[in-house]
Amino acid sequence: MSAVEIRALAEAEVAVLSSAEPPGRGFAAAAWAAQQRGESTLLVAWEGGTALGHGQLTRAVEPELRNLHVSQAARGRGVGTALVRAAERAAREAGAATLAVGVGDDNPRARALYERLGYVGTGIRSTTTYDYVDDAGVRRTATETDELLRVALGAPGSG
């Protein structure tokens, strides 16, 4: 992987992320608003001025990594792993003992990544129905069943 930098979303970068979204999605603006309210941090993988992917780390007693996404062109380059590891470091530095991630039943590649990184299924399952804007800008409704996976984090400074 070339020089990829992972950092928390900055206000000036919201427009950059938003410009790559289909009209009406509004993910970057919503993530920035949540970050400003102290609910989460959007970690973004950058290569130069190009965003390669992101993951949203919730701020909770047990933080959760949500909305992990790597652009199609950047897949297979270690960007997803780097984002997960950055989220683990941030959670550990905030004093968390574990990090959770939900993985959809229909996403075996993501599950394989998490398991390779030491995440273990908890058996805790949830089914959620939500609206989203697809890559063509069309509003859709989806229902997804996830299992919560969890990894134990070492002490701050241990990795």
Q: How confident is the model at residue 155 (pLDDT cuts 50, 70, 90)?
A: low
Contact 134, 24 (CB under 8 A): no
Mean pLDDT within 119-129: 97
Give every CB contact of residue 84 below 8 A, 6+ residues apart in sequence.
55, 65, 68, 101, 113, 114, 117
Which of 28-32, 82-86, 119-123, 154-158 is predicted with the least confidence, judged by mean pLDDT? Answer: 154-158
Q: How confident is the model at residue 2 (pLDDT cuts 50, 70, 90)?
A: low
pLDDT of residue 157: 54
Mean pLDDT within 18-29: 88
Strand partners, 130: 142
pLDDT of residue 80: 94
The whole-angstrom distance between residue 66's C-alpha and the CA centroid of its chain comes to 4
Q: Render pLDDT for 88-121 as a digit per residue (tens, 0 to 9).
A: 999 999 999 999 999 999 999 999 999 999 999 9
pLDDT of residue 107: 93
Contact 51, 58 (CB under 8 A): no
Q: Where do the domains of the chain lie?
A: 5-152
The rounded mean pLDDT for the chain is: 92
Q: Render pLDDT for 30-47 as a digit per residue (tens, 0 to 9).
A: 999 999 999 999 999 999
Mean pLDDT within 134-158: 87
> Does position 1 have pLDDT exceeding 50, yes or no?
no
**Integer angstrom CA distances of residue 143 from 35, 129, 131, 140:** 26, 4, 9, 10
Strand partners, 57: 41, 65
Q: Render pLDDT for 44-74 as a digit per residue (tens, 0 to 9).
A: 999 988 999 999 999 998 999 999 999 989 9
The CATH code that applies to domain 5-152 is 3.40.630.30
